């Protein structure tokens, strides 16, 4: 445990921030998984709608600073590519 007052406060805020980031990252993973499951099931229309939702969640995470903006772009691009292959098949 820290001895300095500001360090004690930062331990508390770090824990709060970690918990918030964890929930946002979990939401990203869940939405990504739903898109991929729809693609594997061959449900192109559902995958397209889920992709819009997932992109929104990823953009919000990047805006909050939970993930880097380039990582967000990469995730969205890969998901869009998967969704597009489902529509062509």
Q: What is the pLDDT of residues 55-66, one digit of tens each?
A: 999 999 999 999
For residues 67 and 58, is the Cβ–Cβ distance under 8 A?
A: yes
pLDDT for 7-45, tens place per residue?
999 999 999 999 999 999 999 999 999 999 999 999 999
Domains, the chain, in order of start with CATH, read: 5-88 (1.20.58.110)
pLDDT of res. 89: 59
pTM higher than the cut 0.85: yes
CA–CA–CA angle 10, 57, 79 (5° rounding): 125
Question: What confidence score (pLDDT) does residue 86 get?
Answer: 78
């Amino acid at each position: 445990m820290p001895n300095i007052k500001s360090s004690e406060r930062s331990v508390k805020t770090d824990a709060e921030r970690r918990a918030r980031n964890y929930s946002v990252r979990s939401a990203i993973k869940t939405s990504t998984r739903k898109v991929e499951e729809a693609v594997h099931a061959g449900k192109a229309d559902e995958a397209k709608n889920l992709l819009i939702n997932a992109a929104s969640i990823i953009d919000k995470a990047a805006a909050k600073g939970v993930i880097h903006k380039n990582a967000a772009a990469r995730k969205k691009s890969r998901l869009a590519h998967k969704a597009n292959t489902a529509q062509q098949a």
